[in-house]
Structure 1
Amino acid sequence: MHSEVVEVKRVFIGAGCNRIVNNVSWGASGLVSFGAHNAVAIFSPKSAQILTTLPGHKAVVNCTHWLPTSKFLFKAKGLEQHYLLSGDADGAIILWELSLIDGKWRQVSQLPQSHKKGVTCINGLMVSQTEAMFASTSSDGTVCVWELVFPLTSRGDCKLSCLDSFSVGSKSMVALSLAELPGGGGQIVLAMGGLDNKIHLYCGGRTGKLVHACELKGHTDWIRSLDFSLPISINGEVNNIFLVSSSQDKAIRIWKMALVSSVSNGHGIYKKEEMSLSSYIKGPVLVAGSSSFQISLESLLIGHEDWVYSVQWQPPVEMEGNAYYQPQSILSASMDKTMMIWQPEKTSGVWMNVVTVGELSHCALGFYGGHWSPNGDSILAHGYGGSFHLWKNVGYDNWLTQKVPSGHFASVTDIGWARSGDYIMSVSHDQTTRIFAPWKVEASLQDGEFWYEISRPQVHGHDINCLAVVHSKGNHRFVGGADEKVARVFEAPLSFLKTLNNATLQKSSSDDVLNGVQILGANMSALGLSQKPIYAQAVNEASERNGTDGIDTLETIPEAVPTVFTEPPIEDQLAWHTLWPESHKLYGHGNELFSLCCDHRGELVASSCKAQSAAVAEVWLWQVGSWKTVGRLQSHSLTVTQMEFSHDDRFLLTVSRDRQFSVFTITRTGSGEVSYSLLARQEGHKRIIWSCSWNPHGHEFATGSRDKTVKIWGVEKESSVKQLLTLPQFTSSVTALSWAGLHDQKNAGILAVGMENGQIELWSLSYNRADDGSITTPGLAAALLVRVDPFICHASTVNRLAWKKSEEDHLSMQLASCGADNCVRVFDINVVE
């Protein structure tokens, strides 16, 4: 085993977007960056897959910003590296470098003496093809201005320097935009806005020392977003630049800055513009170096019904002969669940809303930001549910929704593979249960399989802590446990079974299951607790009934329409039309549920809850099917953190906060009765035991603890437990374990170890054999096979690891993991002999 090499490849990452304004950026590289808890995630809109996550932040990521962004695509030609900035809730800013040739990332540096409190916005400007300036704001009331010089060769290093840092007082700024002023003076203008409802303009030269020039008043609530256009040519002279601003006052304002005088040629010529309707409100004059700019309110755009969180000019479009021009087109995103595109009317020049998308979504609860693709044919929003929404202009302003990655927007607490191995199911503190699966496409269309979220079986009113997939024959079932005393049992509806057939390209192979299922789907409840079934025969009646009374009260929630999908569903469909009906509630525990497991035959489910006393720390056993209580196992005095049945279902192992583990013998009589007895209980570790896992081919098991150790134990002669081995101390608390068997019995398989710092290691376990082949004591030896690359691991605590039960080739296996970084991950593990 030790001579083998193990390759670990990323197959899939599912993650939701932090629910924070300024979190998302669409780069000139074509890739989108966003914060997923304390990781920076990168996704490709072309494949709708998350490509990687960048570990390094110790706090939640608030904002990301590409250099160059889609706005500066025309300056990105010939660049071999692109850069990405990310700022977090502790005030740290990290600079990352992406090599476009091989797609590899590296952390270049953490910016020195950054902010004392959370970073609220980062915005940059490409001054030339190899020089950028950017500014950052923070809730500590400071603004920093930086310069970044790109390397000339792919092996060179970039140079980063802080040009200026100044305080803006107690009203912190949450939006900013940088631009180079027209007129050839090389002057930089910085606009920022925030809690004092005013837009502050600062000016300065390329050295970055900025002085306060003037302020623009008009908005009556917090300013949320600012974006400068590139210099715009009017009547052949490129002397104007526009600034668009949006606010919580629901309005969008477009400000025009027109060059009125320049003393560069010796005599100051003051050109008075002919009075036009558009410049009826004269604003202040901005003095920048030797130039002056008259500012006027060009337009006031009213149309949104709630806070407007973001506005963005469409990126410049390439013309013939390498010329670029910027369309007069603005994208806005609002908490009213819509994005709008605004353009001036051809004849009158009055700005109008020409496109509105998103108004149908029941579930988005509003958008936090909107972004243009580099070529302007797609628009992306991120919403309250951590979700992305993408529309593409397929021609003549016909904007159609596109596939996007999705995932949880809070810590993912538990994960399990389907009995068939066709999908994984995850539960989270975001109060949802989600199913992710590889959506197979006929081989001719694409290479490799892409994973998507294909169902959201449960949308709940409590944080969900644990789940157990039921492994018995028949329909797909799972049990979920949340911050309530009841465990809930769910059964797959017909619409899911048919969707799964489409995803796996099975031409309805499981007809025996389909015939027995009468339930099409489920409806959400008003409080988000029980999900009621929708029966096949009831659907026709509902459609007739809905036509008559259009009374909308608090209790009525739009009827779900259980749908069979022929391609991966999008957010709206997932949140509404893919629920599973709840078939049973399991009452008995005294506190919030904490862990669940099912035996390998699919006959018993064990459950535990949060506990401070022995009476509450009981493990309950439930019979699958009748869902009767068949046992209450007493042994621990604090919360049982994880449980697992041995693979022959003869033992149940439980580990607890009380630092003990227990092994129970489970006996089944012919009549289906279950009896149990405590075989062993002992203190296994010096701190909380977080996780445990059985050897699939034997009666050995592993325990992992906050004391940073993993110990291997063996059940001897079915009467006692003996310690066989302690693995070398790990660098961080061990929070997840999963043991996979290899099909040749010479080896005891591979143990996957997940830690609090997000790292995953794979260890090979082998039996010590004497020359004659008999096993010598102490039985087992362990060796580190591989430390998984941090760039494909989690960025904070690994909560659960689960191997896919593979029947066929043991040299290629799949491992799923979930973590506190909101991510669900799937890895391919190939043993190269």
Structure 2
Amino acid sequence: MMKYEVERGFIGAGCNRIVNNVSWGASNFVAFGAHNAVAIFCPQRAQILTTLPGHKAAVNCTYWLPTSKFAFRAQQLRQHYLLSGDADGTIMLWEISLTDEKWRHVLTLPQPHKKGVTCISGTMFSATEAIFASTSSDGTVNIWEIIMPLTAGGDFELLYLESLSIGSKTMVALALAEFPDNTGHVILAMGGLDNKVHLYSRERSGKFIRACELKGHSDWIRSLDFSLPIGKNGPRENLLLVSSSQDKSIRIWKMVLCESLGNSERKDVIGLASYIEGPLFVSGLSTYQISLESLLIGHEDWVYSVQWQPPSIASTERGGYIQPQSILSASMDKTMMIWRPERTSGIWMNFVTVGELSHCALGFYGGHWSPYGDAILAHGYGGSFHLWKDVGIDSENWQPQKVPSGHYAAVSDIAWARCGKFLLSVSHDQTTRIFSPWLSHMGDRCSWHEVARPQVHGHDINCVAIIQGKGNHRFVCGADEKVARVFEAPLSFLKTLNYAVSSGSDVQEDVHLGVQILGANMSALGLSQKPIYVHAEETPKRPDTDVVDTLETVPDAVPVTLTEPPIEEQLAWHTLWPESHKLYGHGNELFSLCCDHSGKLVASSCKAQTVSVAEIWLWEIGSWKAVGRLQSHSLTVTQMEFSHDDSLLLSVSRDRQFSVFFIKRKGSEEISYELLVRQEAHKRIIWACSWNPFGHQFATGSRDKTVKLWSVENNKTVKQLSTLPPFPCSVTAISWLGVERKTNHGLLAVGLENGFIELWDLLARTEDNCAAGAGFEANVVARLDPFMCHASTVQRLAWRNTEKVEDGQKIQLASCGDDNCVRVFEVNVGKC
């Protein structure tokens, strides 16, 4: 009996494509929504650390308490907090202990919004007291106060303050701040679909009172942010508010403390003459004059995000701070800009622009400062992150940095390379991606990164199979079209892979001198990818073709050998693989693919509702001729797999049946096939199947919440061996790993509809260890921690190729799911 300990190895995920989805906290961690999970990544390591499960709908927004703005006050805090809101209106609060990086779900707000949460903003009065507000599509703004415990794991006190509604127009942007008068008064700014900024003030224990409106924007207001109180050589009495809009402009509003007034004098303060400079409003005993400080014009599309630069921790002394006069803006015009007032004139100017050369960003949904003000992060339409860091010494020099990456839609299939050096995934975001461990230059540290994006398609991709035979790396993929496509690795990828796995220290056998294709170019419609040859002559461009890129003018790729993990711009354009063949024949959208272990046959199936359409096609690798059409099922074949000796093909289907075909090879080219058995195996759809690597036993998993073990006897009949105890929900993925051939010992990974993963130890019964029909003793040896698992349906599980599992060895299990995530688990093997 072996014991297994599971560790988190790698998480790849993209960001939900929505405004306000990302937040950079004073903890220096970045939070973002990945489908219905909250993902946390560390910018220093460029790795996603964990995902937080619990939401039942897509996560729309996240917000740290404290945010990066208050990092100078939070240096001694060991507990930080995160708020997350989803498309159902639910808001959750999470706690992280920085001492051990342990997370826990603290609470779910008891009064959820009736529709999706669109924005969360807040401010901390102290290490244990905070106030926050949330906007929603239901037209309300809910405001809460929260008291945090002094120690990790303590009890929280949550107080619902009130709900505000601004007419019939929904608010989509929020900002909260304390007034500079140090009396505990709070100001709330709201903006939305009525093009106005609404200001509300609140005394420490009172209600929010309407203060005034700020007019000027001519389209929806998308972002608001207060500066910290500002004062020159004296008390901090001024507050700045920055707002951005879909009218492409940014406005800076200045709030100046005028005087302190008694209650009797309040009525006469606001008069018609006051609006020459701007409105006046009263909070407590203080009066504030508002004026438009500056109008910033420079972006060419909607400005989704504006944010004040946080005070540098190094510049703070004895609790004081200097609020930098610097604003970061992010726009759908593919740029982020840093604005500052000019030293001599004081006019606000654009000093830094990044992202303008990016062909792949398709616009930025938000921009964020690091807690130290030395890095800026954007998230884009393609679910991608873009990070720049100021690496200059005497002057600013903003350079792109590594960030985590991944799919931004459900990941439908994964496959390990035959050498085990990389993992290939396909998704409904219409991309194929390759993830690989990358050794550092010193060779002492290894971290996973996306190293290539072989295919950027025009259809959702449903299935993939890596061709296992000798020769170059190749794969076949199937999408929501009737064609399977074959791709072959170019020379630039082979050299990059060699560098990643060996840090360039030795030459791998995969780098063949015979590979003449360097890379590939994308077509305008994103379907067929054309090869770029090693010795291709450059054709000079006509002067009139040098125009801004559109769907019709896709820029040429520049495939090169990468010596560092690539950034988004390189991945999207310069790491494509050329398409070598198309396989025509199916009548509907492709649904499943598999390749045999000798690299001679590929099997494919499509979505089907009749026997003729549900047939399985066999393709001969190399000639790519259709050499077989196997009929058995009446509905969609959901998964197929060849036995490890390639003599049998197993298929499972929506018709609740499995089929086993005998595959016989006559000579080098001729192939015959025969249906051995078709059997109804489950009461509901069968989603998954997997062969025992050491024999002709296999497992099937179904929507009826069961996993059943079967044995093919004498290549004639199939006998049921056993049924595992019922699972809590549908079984959607299984994968069988051989542990020890002599005792027919295996390890079965089971993935469930709720995202959980279990490991089951399968040991052939001792009375007849190697007999075909002896059966197995099944014991669950690991139920993965929910914080390690997927947040929704597991689509596929795959063990990394291994010849033999030994004591002390680390084996790797890959998984993918509907939560947009690709995961790799490190399973440590030991003896009990």
For 2:157, the equivalent position in structure 1 comes to 159
Provide the rounded CA distance (Å) in 1 between the counterparts of 2:297 and 2:204.
36
Provide the rounded CA distance (Å) in 2 between the counterparts of 1:486 and 1:298.
59
Contact preservation (8 Å) 2:339, 2:350: yes
For 1:105, the equivalent position in structure 2 comes to 103
Give 1:447-526 correspondences, 5 Å limit.
447=445, 449-505=446-502, 507=505, 509-511=507-509, 513-526=511-524
Equivalent position to 2:295, from 295, 300, 307 = 300
For 1:245, the equivalent position in structure 2 comes to 243
For 2:786, the equivalent position in structure 1 comes to 790
For 1:205, the equivalent position in structure 2 comes to 203
Q: What is the identity, as a one-letter code, of the residue corresponding to 1:407?
A: G
Equivalent position to 2:696, from 673, 695, 699 = 699
- C-alpha spacing 1:172/1:740, structure 2 compared with 1 (3 Å): same
For 1:220, the equivalent position in structure 2 comes to 218
**Can you list the C-alpha shifts for 1:183-218, whole angstroms capped at 9, x where unaligned?**
233211100111111111111122362122111110
For 1:751, the equivalent position in structure 2 comes to 748
For 1:383, the equivalent position in structure 2 comes to 380
Q: 1:347 deviation in Å? A: 1.6
- C-alpha spacing 1:671/1:314, structure 2 compared with 1 (3 Å): closer
Question: Is the counterpart of residue 807 in structure 1 residue 806 in structure 2?
Answer: no
For 2:637, the equivalent position in structure 1 comes to 640
Mean Cα displacement is larger for which, 747-756 or 158-167? 158-167
Q: What is the identity, as a one-letter code, of the residue corresponding to 1:423?
A: F
For 1:438, the equivalent position in structure 2 comes to 437
Contact preservation (8 Å) 2:719, 2:773: no
Question: Is the counterpart of residue 609 in structure 1 residue 606 in structure 2?
Answer: yes
Gaps of 5+ in 1: none
Equivalent position to 1:283, from 278, 286, 296 = 278
**Can you list the C-alpha shifts for 1:568-627, whole angstroms capped at 9, x where unaligned?**
110011000000000000000000000000000010000000001111001000000100
Provide the rounded CA distance (Å) in 1 between the counterparts of 2:467 and 2:30.
38
Contact preservation (8 Å) 1:92, 1:114: yes
For 1:418, the equivalent position in structure 2 comes to 417
Provide the rounded CA distance (Å) in 2 between the counterparts of 1:773 and 1:107.
46
The two structures, once aligned, show a CA RMSD in angstroms of: 2.0
Provide the rounded CA distance (Å) in 2 between the counterparts of 1:774 and 1:303.
74
Mean Cα displacement is larger for which, 259-268 or 619-628? 259-268
TM-score by length of 2: 0.96
**Can you list the C-alpha shifts for 1:219-256, whole angstroms capped at 9, x where unaligned?**
00000000001110035231110100000000000001
Q: 1:745 deviation in Å? A: 2.7
Question: Is the counterpart of residue 327 in structure 1 residue 324 in structure 2?
Answer: yes
Mean Cα displacement is larger for which, 511-520 or 560-569? 511-520
Contact preservation (8 Å) 1:280, 1:296: no
Give 1:128-143 correspondences, 5 Å limit.
128-143=126-141
Mean Cα displacement is larger for which, 555-564 or 317-326? 317-326
- C-alpha spacing 1:358/1:684, structure 2 compared with 1 (3 Å): same
Provide the rounded CA distance (Å) in 2 between the counterparts of 1:187 and 1:649.
74
For 1:527, the equivalent position in structure 2 comes to 525
Q: 1:123 deviation in Å? A: 0.5
Q: What is the identity, as a one-letter code, of the residue corresponding to 1:795?
A: A
Q: 1:77 deviation in Å? A: 2.7
Contact preservation (8 Å) 1:414, 1:426: yes
Contact preservation (8 Å) 1:605, 1:623: yes
Provide the rounded CA distance (Å) in 2 between the counterparts of 1:688 and 1:547.
59
Identity fraction in percent: 70
- C-alpha spacing 1:773/1:623, structure 2 compared with 1 (3 Å): closer
Mean Cα displacement is larger for which, 476-485 or 321-330? 321-330
Provide the rounded CA distance (Å) in 2 between the counterparts of 1:588 and 1:212.
67
Q: 1:323 deviation in Å? A: 2.3
Mean Cα displacement is larger for which, 101-110 or 227-236? 227-236
For 1:399, the equivalent position in structure 2 comes to 398
Contact preservation (8 Å) 2:146, 2:158: yes
- C-alpha spacing 1:554/1:461, structure 2 compared with 1 (3 Å): closer
Provide the rounded CA distance (Å) in 2 between the counterparts of 1:14 and 1:255.
40
**SS of the counterpart of 1:502?**
helix
Q: What is the identity, as a one-letter code, of the residue corresponding to 2:424?
A: M
Q: What is the identity, as a one-letter code, of the residue corresponding to 1:316?
A: P
Provide the rounded CA distance (Å) in 2 between the counterparts of 1:330 and 1:812.
48
Q: 1:302 deviation in Å? A: 0.2
Provide the rounded CA distance (Å) in 1 between the counterparts of 2:782 and 2:606.
35
Give 1:361-380 correspondences, 5 Å limit.
361-380=358-377
- C-alpha spacing 1:634/1:773, structure 2 compared with 1 (3 Å): closer
Q: What is the identity, as a one-letter code, of the residue corresponding to 1:334?
A: S
Provide the rounded CA distance (Å) in 1 between the counterparts of 2:299 and 2:137.
27
Provide the rounded CA distance (Å) in 1 between the counterparts of 2:787 and 2:423.
22
Give 1:39-78 correspondences, 5 Å limit.
39-78=37-76
Contact preservation (8 Å) 2:193, 2:219: yes
Question: Is the counterpart of residue 728 in structure 1 residue 719 in structure 2?
Answer: no
For 1:409, the equivalent position in structure 2 comes to 408
Contact preservation (8 Å) 1:533, 1:582: yes
- C-alpha spacing 1:473/1:546, structure 2 compared with 1 (3 Å): farther
Equivalent position to 2:356, from 332, 356, 359 = 359
Q: 1:287 deviation in Å? A: 1.7
- C-alpha spacing 1:809/1:776, structure 2 compared with 1 (3 Å): closer
For 2:646, the equivalent position in structure 1 comes to 649
Contact preservation (8 Å) 2:85, 2:117: yes
Q: What is the identity, as a one-letter code, of the residue corresponding to 2:802?
A: S
Give 1:649-688 correspondences, 5 Å limit.
649-688=646-685
Q: 1:157 deviation in Å? A: 2.1
**SS of the counterpart of 2:429?**
coil
For 2:552, the equivalent position in structure 1 comes to 555
Q: 1:131 deviation in Å? A: 1.0
Provide the rounded CA distance (Å) in 1 between the counterparts of 2:650 and 2:212.
69
Q: 1:765 deviation in Å? A: 0.6
For 1:716, the equivalent position in structure 2 comes to 713
Q: 1:459 deviation in Å? A: 0.2
Q: 1:808 deviation in Å? A: 5.5
Contact preservation (8 Å) 1:695, 1:748: no
TM-score by length of 1: 0.96
Provide the rounded CA distance (Å) in 2 between the counterparts of 1:232 and 1:551.
45
| Count of paired positions | 821
**SS of the counterpart of 2:599?**
coil
Contact preservation (8 Å) 1:768, 1:776: no
Q: 1:779 deviation in Å? A: 1.8
Equivalent position to 1:588, from 577, 585, 599 = 585
**SS of the counterpart of 2:538?**
helix
**Can you list the C-alpha shifts for 1:67-107, whole angstroms capped at 9, x where unaligned?**
00101112213222100000000000000000111000000
Equivalent position to 2:4, from 3, 6, 12 = 6
Provide the rounded CA distance (Å) in 2 between the counterparts of 1:776 and 1:633.
26
**SS of the counterpart of 2:507?**
coil
Q: 1:5 deviation in Å? A: 2.5
For 2:428, the equivalent position in structure 1 comes to 429
Q: What is the identity, as a one-letter code, of the residue corresponding to 2:282?
A: V
Mean Cα displacement is larger for which, 344-353 or 384-393? 344-353
Contact preservation (8 Å) 1:261, 1:271: no
Mean Cα displacement is larger for which, 497-506 or 242-251? 497-506
**SS of the counterpart of 2:182?**
coil
Contact preservation (8 Å) 1:763, 1:783: yes
Q: What is the identity, as a one-letter code, of the residue corresponding to 1:550?
A: D
Provide the rounded CA distance (Å) in 1 between the counterparts of 2:165 and 2:651.
55
Q: 1:154 deviation in Å? A: 2.9
For 1:350, the equivalent position in structure 2 comes to 347
Contact preservation (8 Å) 1:261, 1:270: no
